[in-house]
Chain A
């Protein structure tokens, strides 16, 4: 941390008007396994990112090598560049007032003394669980990770603030070994070790691999689609997350600039971004600008209420930061979602399926991230889906491409919101029923 103060002092001494240092430290244990443990690695990462401003001229330098000689040299290089850089006309200043919000559930103390033998035991038992009850599957890939991290921000206006956090993630892929090619995977990411049940993930992945044996594409058509919670969460994060980012809006990369206070979704739909959510995957007491996090209404009863700001975009837009700055130590901040939450409805997934005469239930897709949030055009290839006929699963489906437009879906096509809120990384969503999507098949 003293390196941050050193860098700022030196930058100011060399004629800079402002300076800011962000330091990120990570201790990570990562275990990879298949039908046996394959390797265990530990990583200690540290890095400092220094940003300096001379009037409206800016530069940024970062390094993972923390010694005095290196710190002094990155300051000198940043100063040299800031002195000759063209002005950023939209620059105001670094965050002048730091703060912290009240958050709970961001640090799990059991991470301080991880018992490797016990972790190995959990993994071996999870591998065994996959094949219990005579399931003919093979665990083909699994990852179990534990991260302890700390974020530290300091600038010439403020004393440094520090936040420590823990994150754990687990994922398992299984493959059926009889009756054809079929695989299944399940994963979870959360803050506390006790919330990650690797053995349960293993059973779900194994059952999924078997359930989808014999899955096939069908003829191209249009039909209703039910998307499972974590899948829709993922899609919402990609498509909505992009458009509520103030930088994308200010730069003309999103059409949301013209949609403020307008109906962009049906009345049943409300979305918030909550950096203070209890146990939330991305909950933190301040963002990477040192701004306290908060709860921000994004869509209320279908009306676009707010977008997400960091310090730079807020000052440029003459408003206040929503505490959404996010960055790596080697990049400049960008206003991205903290925990984005689509408020659930009251229907269970079972009922949603039961009430569907004909439709496609989708658990997993690939390539959904290739969709184009600018235009809202959504495409994804279904790897794990089930045809629903008269309220029941009839045929497993794979290799069909679904298509639609997210703006149209949110406004006109979300027929039912489930009651089963679940996360995909930092986006939380219930399962949803969409009245119609295009399906490209055989």
Chain B
């Protein structure tokens, strides 16, 4: 295998920046990435696939007369470096724009590596496969289970960034995850349930958990789901769990504060800084490295440090999220939110770890006072979608229960929530005190055709009005 340094040294990034300067670029940056990943899947008690991928390459971004050109390749020979540089210039010279005007930042040097105890790639294939076979076996809890999948995924990512403003940054980051899917059939009705857990750490993450319990839990949930009923369609008070709060705040609110979407007019939050959008109890944060779990973004893909950005403070919109271009447009400091999926994509404004801060309510207190409502968890949910332009969102809930007279009652399936998020946000009337932040090996945040890993979370929340779709 070609090591990260072997490949990087072949390219001579300093020389590329010099060359671009001579060709007339007012700014150039170079991003190199190598991602070594492995995914093992056991299905129905048999090894289904064992696949690894080394994904590496580089991209060059140049600014010529204010216009940005970007070009990337995974071909490492000399000729290809020149062709890639040429392609970036050709793009930048074929149109006029101001996207290449960047806010000033201090030049910075970063060299970060997350420490791990055991690299998953170094664990023998036999050990990993046998763990998955055992996990999968555990999922077969009754004849009603028809299909069980167990997956382990892990990756180590190297990122290197160099620009003509004197910033040089490198990062080595691991991520690992386990996923389990069970399909249950009862009286020819079929339902599937999916769950995953992940962390920016080494194989020690896998070793510290009992995955058999995890597998049994998903299978039990699949059987309970297939036997349960859909809730009647309508608008209800709901309580949502930490993960779903994280997903919702990320998708339905977070994207709307990304300054690129604000400036193009896509976001409904243009000209809303200083406006009360939610109850005083609600604080929303975007933070690169948190003291909880989550993803790890010490700096962004423009080499800007990502600290803690207070987005919503006591319900008031305090800040958008910025890259260097949008920060310059608004005359503020960049917030370190310029992120690219990989070297094949140029960075765009994107969240890091976005979460709601703790409030004062216990879980039982959140349920109190709800005569008829729904408690919705994220476990088993397959995600959601948002139309940022008008703030419409829809999410598929996972494990869910009816709430009757302040207490949880029957489980319900097929819960779909939807609404106009800014409206729903106003009806958040109680914030829990059990904050959790998570990340995911298997999922990522999608925007503008790119996907990137993020962290998300919050405490339990009560929302007084939410449309719940059923049958």
Contacts and interface: CB of A to CB of B under 8 A. Distances in A.
Interface of A: 30, 32, 34-47, 58-67, 69-70, 73-74, 77, 80-81, 84-86, 88-90, 116-117, 119-120, 138, 140-141, 143, 173, 175, 177, 181-183, 217, 220, 251-255, 330-332, 366-367, 369-370, 372, 374-375, 377, 379-381, 383, 398-405, 438-442
A440 B95 CA distance: 47
B190 interface: yes
Given A37-B95, A43-B72, A377-B471, A86 B51 contact: no
Interface residues of B, number: 90
B248 to A, nearest CB: 13
B467 A84 contact: no
B73 interface: yes
Given A38-B99, A59-B50, A65-B2, A116 B90 contact: yes
Interface string B83-94: 010011011101
5 nearest A-B residue pairs (beta carbon): A401-B469, A440-B233, A367-B394, A183-B389, A381-B394
A63 B266 contact: no
Nearest to A137: B265
27 contacts: A38-B97, A39-B99, A40-B70, A42-B71, A58-B49, A60-B50, A64-B55, A65-B54, A65-B57, A67-B2, A80-B125, A81-B50, A175-B389, A251-B147, A252-B183, A253-B192, A255-B188, A330-B53, A366-B393, A370-B385, A370-B396, A374-B183, A399-B392, A401-B394, A402-B469, A440-B234, A442-B467
Contacts of B2: 65, 67, 69-70, 73
Contact of B414 (A30, A67, A372): A372
Given A181-B390, A398-B390, A379 B416 contact: yes
Contacts of A77: 1, 52
B431 interface: no
Interface in B378-418: 382-387, 389-396, 414, 416, 418
Contacts of B393: 366, 381
Interface string B102-133: 00000000000000000000001110010001
B54 A220 contact: no
Interface string B55-75: 111000000000111111111
A64 B33 CA distance: 11
A93 B44 CA distance: 21
Nearest to A366: B385
A183 B191 contact: no
Interface of B: 1-2, 7, 43-44, 46-57, 67-76, 80, 84, 87-88, 90-92, 94-97, 99, 124-126, 129, 133, 146-147, 183, 185, 188-192, 230, 233-235, 264-266, 268, 344-346, 382-387, 389-396, 414, 416, 418-420, 448-449, 467-471
A65 B56 contact: yes
Given A32-B448, A88-B47, A45 B264 contact: no
A441 B52 contact: no
A40 B94 contact: yes
Contacts of A69: 2
B122 to A, nearest CB: 13
Which of the listed residues B346, B393, B469 has the most CB atoms from chain A within 10 Å of its own CB?
Answer: B469
Contacts of A80: 125
A438 B471 contact: yes
A88 B126 CA distance: 15
A372 B55 CA distance: 32
Given A74-B54, A255-B190, A44 B74 contact: yes
Contacts of A173: 266, 389
Nearest to A184: B389
Nearest to B1: A73
A217 B70 contact: no
B54 A66 contact: no
B390 A383 contact: yes
A127 B15 CA distance: 39
A116 B94 contact: yes
Nearest to A212: B390
Contacts of B419: 399
B266 to A, nearest CB: 4
B190 A401 contact: no
A152 B5 CA distance: 30
Contact of B57 (A39, A64, A217): A64
A173 B470 CA distance: 30
A438 B389 contact: no
A84 B124 CA distance: 10
Contacts of A182: 390
Contact of A85 (B129, B183, B266, B470): B129
A84 B125 contact: yes
A141 B264 contact: yes
A46 B74 contact: yes
Given A41-B72, A86-B46, A140 B471 contact: no
Contacts of B43: 251
Given A44-B73, A217-B467, A375-B191, A381 B392 contact: yes
Which of the listed residues B96, B133, B233 has the most CB atoms from chain A within 10 Å of its own CB?
Answer: B233
A366 B390 CA distance: 12
Contact of A372 (B92, B95, B191): B191
A441 B188 CA distance: 30
B258 to A, nearest CB: 12
Given A38-B99, A401-B469, A367 B265 contact: no
Contacts of B67: 37
A229 B24 CA distance: 49
Contacts of B265: 34-35, 138, 140, 175, 177
Nearest to B418: A381
B37 to A, nearest CB: 9
A40 B91 contact: yes
Contacts of A35: 264-265
A404 B233 CA distance: 12
Contacts of B69: 39-41
B244 to A, nearest CB: 13
B467 A440 contact: yes
Contact of A88 (B48, B87, B91): B48
Given A38-B68, A330-B53, A366-B394, 4 more contacts: A44-B72, A62-B51, A375-B190, A440-B234
Contacts of B48: 88
Nearest to A86: B47
A85 B40 CA distance: 11
Which of the listed residues B57, B387, B448 has the most CB atoms from chain A within 10 Å of its own CB?
Answer: B387
Contacts of A252: 44, 146-147, 183, 185
Contacts of A119: 94
Contacts of A64: 53-57, 74
B438 to A, nearest CB: 20
B416 A401 contact: yes
A255 B189 CA distance: 9
Contact of B386 (A67, A255, A366, A369): A366
A73 B54 CA distance: 11
A62 B54 contact: yes
